[in-house]
Amino acid sequence: MCQEIVNLINKKEHLTSEGLRKIVSVKASMNNGLSDTLSKSLPDIIPVEIPKVELTKNIEPHWLAGFTDGEGMLFYTNTKI
């Protein structure tokens, strides 16, 4: 999602009203959505559809939780013994 916004900015589409509306549509579909002020200012904004990602394997939930514990980071160190 964020990559889509970066692409729009790199193409300078954010300088047009249509490009800005695309960015706001992406924002509307993200975690907190739009602020009350922005929703009132742009009532016709439709959030973009977030693609559904399905896992191909059963993942043990405790293993998966390890990716988001702490600061949501995973570190890997490979040392030779």
**pTM of the predicted protein model:** 0.59
Q: What is the mean pLDDT of each run of 10 residues along the chain (81 residues)?
A: 87 93 90 88 89 77 69 65 61
Which pLDDT score, from 0 to 100, does residue 73 have? Answer: 62
For helices 17-29 and 2-10, angle between their N-to-C axes, nearest 10 degrees: 170
State residue 81's pLDDT score. 61
- Spell out the residues 6+ positions from residue 33 whose beta carbon is closer than 8 angstroms to its own: 27, 39, 47
Q: Say what the pLDDT of residue 57 is.
A: 77
